[in-house]
Amino acid sequence: MSTDVPATLPSGGAVRPITRWGEEVMHRPARPVTTFDAQLRTLAADMVATMYAAEGVGLAACQIGVDLAVFVFDCPDESGEPHQGVVCNPVLELPEGKGRKLDDGEEGCLSYPGAFVSCARPDWARVTGLGLDGSPVSYEGDGLLARCLQHETDHTTGMVFGDRLSDRLRKKLRKQMEANADDYPPSWPAT
């Protein structure tokens, strides 16, 4: 749920190739967004176009090689209700103590395509930050939405979800990705 008017994602962007794990931009904290201008809106539109072309539910700027703390998402919650938005400089809030329950669902990453493994994450999350115009935004939810908000915020901190996995699960993930590599050439999903 958003604290302001329901988001409309920017449109008209160009589909860009997705940056893969191992590239430096994927493994370092992103620079905070400080300028809310047409260039940021164009970046967000390109991120949305790329996310949809790759059939994803979220995408961080680092995933198209841009070192800025911003992500876009279009993702359903546990009940199937869709949520979408753009978050700059995200701050993640997770339940603690007795209210914390883990969801051990499968997770994948567009920057490590074709591979999915179980990754335990809290079953609810809230992200606060700034929208494309610099005004405060807040999104929260459960189910896949909670996983998405956590996954994309991790990207802005330089973490990929493989960093959260055991060696055994990372090896399983790598084998799946390598087995599907022909389906995801370096220019994917751009043509």
Phi, psi of 102 (to 5 degrees): -95, 145
Judged against a pLDDT cut of 80, whether residue 5 lies above it is answered with no
Q: List Cα–Cα distances, 120 to 83, 101, 134, 169, 182, in angstroms.
A: 22, 10, 32, 12, 29
- Mean pLDDT in residue range 148-152: 98
The verdict on pTM exceeding 0.85 is yes
List residues with catalytic annotation.
152
- Mean pLDDT in residue range 144-168: 97
Q: According to the model, what pLDDT value does residue 8 have?
A: 84
- Mean pLDDT in residue range 161-168: 96
Judged against a pLDDT cut of 70, whether residue 7 lies above it is answered with no
How is domain 24-181 classified at the CATH fold level? Answer: Peptide Deformylase (3.90.45)
- What is the C-alpha to C-alpha distance for residues 177 and 175, in angstroms, rounded to an integer? 5
| Ranges of each domain in the chain | 24-181
Q: Predicted confidence band at 4 (pLDDT cuts at 50, 70, 90)?
A: very low
What is the DSSP secondary-structure string of 29-62? PPBPP---SHHHHHHHHHHHHHHHHTT-SEEEGG
pLDDT tens-place string over residues 13-64: 999 999 999 999 999 999 999 999 999 999 999 999 999 999 999 999 999 9
pLDDT tens-place string over residues 100-134: 999 999 999 999 999 999 999 999 999 999 999 99
Judged against a pLDDT cut of 50, whether residue 1 lies above it is answered with no
Instruction: Name the percent of the chain lying above pLDDT 90.
Output: 94
